[in-house]
Amino acid sequence: MPRGTRPKTDIAARRREVGRLYLQGKTQPEIAVELAISQPTISRDLKALRDEWLQSALVDLNEAKSKELAKVDALELEYWDGWRRSCEDAETVKQKGKAAGEGGKPQVTDVEKTAKGQAGDPRFLQGIQWCINKRCEILGIDAPKRTDITSDGKSIVVRLVNDG
């Protein structure tokens, strides 16, 4: 068969085998000897595999981010609904009446409704803020966090040395 005319299924099968051996820690020359193909072919196969793996990882990461963002969005909607309900007037109903007679139903003689204004439950706003923070974190748009990993919080002294 002329060079470059192998069926794509043969190339895919060879690349799977090259990838398997590479992930086992074998070098390109070792893989070439074991599969009886040239080292440059192994190199091209590994480049193609790395590109595939990278593309797959990016798709998986984007898909995972999308799923988590959808969850945060749904939770935020619930918090907003709760906030709106917590701002509505609280209504209480008191019924006065006579005990049940022979018909089995009590007779209601007086109904008293009272409405009390509410300012809203701030816990819902805290939940909304959490959703906003989480969304920014997932998207990577939150402010960078300062981490001191070298000095254990102590001052670092820098000295200029003159080698002259």
Strand partners, 90: 116
On whether residue 46 sits in a domain, the answer given is: yes
- Specify whether the CB–CB gap between 35 and 26 falls below 8 A: no
Exposure class string for 50-67: b at 16+ Cβ within 10 A, else e: eeeeeeeeeeeeeeeeee
On whether residue 107 sits in a domain, the answer given is: no
Q: Which amino acid is at 122?
A: P
Q: What six digits make up the tokens of 76?
A: 């935020």
Q: Is the pTM of this model over 0.75?
A: no
Q: Which amino acid is at 87?
A: C
On whether residue 56 sits in a domain, the answer given is: yes
Q: What is the pLDDT of residue 40?
A: 96
pLDDT at 145 over 90: no
Kindly indicate the confidence band of residue 114, based on its pLDDT and cuts at 50, 70 and 90: confident
Kindly indicate the confidence band of residue 128, based on its pLDDT and cuts at 50, 70 and 90: very high
Q: What is the pLDDT of residue 160?
A: 73
The total domain count for the chain is: 1
On whether residue 44 sits in a domain, the answer given is: yes
On whether residue 71 sits in a domain, the answer given is: yes
On whether residue 106 sits in a domain, the answer given is: no
* All residues at 6 or more sequence positions from 7 whose CB lies less than 8 Å from its CB, including other chains: none
Which residue from 72, 70, 51, 73 is spatially nearest to 62, judged by alpha carbons? 70
pLDDT digits (tens, 9 = 90+) for 50-99: 999 888 888 888 898 999 999 999 999 999 999 999 999 888 888 777 76
Alpha-carbon Rg for the chain, nearest whole angstrom, is: 34
* All residues at 6 or more sequence positions from 136 whose CB lies less than 8 Å from its CB, including other chains: 142
Secondary structure percentages of the chain, helix, strand, coil, to 5: 55, 10, 35
Q: What is the pLDDT of residue 57?
A: 84
Which residue from 16, 25, 13 is spatially nearest to 49, judged by alpha carbons? 16
On whether residue 64 sits in a domain, the answer given is: yes
pLDDT at 149 over 90: no
pLDDT digits (tens, 9 = 90+) for 12-61: 999 999 999 999 999 999 999 999 999 999 999 999 999 998 888 888 88
What residue numbers bound the domain in which 84 lies? Answer: 8-93+120-139
How far is residue 116's CA from residue 87's CA, in Å, rounded to a whole number?
Answer: 11
Kindly indicate the confidence band of residue 163, based on its pLDDT and cuts at 50, 70 and 90: low
- Give me the mean pLDDT over the 109-122 stretch: 82
